[in-house]
Amino acid sequence: DAGVIQSPRHEVTEMGQEVTLRCKPISGHNSLFWYRQTMMRGLELLIYFNNNVPIDDSGMPEDRFSAKMPNASFSTLKIQPSEPRDSAVYFCASTPDAPLRLYGYTFGSGTRLTVV
């Protein structure tokens, strides 16, 4: 089991550019979560999917952020246009489609985004 795979590990981009972060959940996991972590705000839940359908995107900061899950093995988080305040570590997590009490989340290693 390769775990949750995120790419790229590091991304440096200029303000105004489009950024796409990628996540491959663990095979068989039906729920997928995107988190953002900064020193000031800690870990924030941005959006989560169940069976490829967005269930709750109330944590998405603004219209510049969008997330998709075209199939069970792939999800993207896109920022367009990017701004320096988007600099953070972005984590993807997945869990089987079961009550939370049975399974914990498995997190990826994260993508460190720097917008200059």
Partner 1 sequence: DAKTTQPNSMESNEEEPVHLPCNHSTISGTDYIHWYRQLPSQGPEYVIHGLTSNVNNRMASLAIAEDRKSSTLILHRATLRDAAVYYCIPDHAGGTSYGKLTFGQGTILTVHP
CA distance linking residue 12 with residue 116, whole number of Å: 7
Binding range to partner 1, per CB under 8 A, among 19-27, 41-49, 60-68, 71-79: 41-49
> Measured from the CB of residue 99, what is the shortest distance to partner 1 in angstroms?
6
Q: Does 99 sit near partner 1 (CB under 8 A)?
A: yes
76 in Cβ contact with 24 (< 8 Å): no
Element (H, E) at 47: strand 42-50
> Considering only CA atoms, which of 6, 15, 18 is closest in space to residue 85?
15
> Measured from the CB of residue 51, what is the shortest distance to partner 1 in angstroms?
10
CB nearer partner 1, residue 65 or residue 90: 90
CB nearer partner 1, residue 14 or residue 56: 56
81 in Cβ contact with 62 (< 8 Å): no
Q: Does 12 sit near partner 1 (CB under 8 A)?
A: no
65 in Cβ contact with 46 (< 8 Å): yes
Q: Which residues bind partner 1 (CB under 8 A)?
A: 4, 31, 33, 35, 42-43, 45, 48, 50, 55-56, 91, 93, 95, 97-101, 104-110
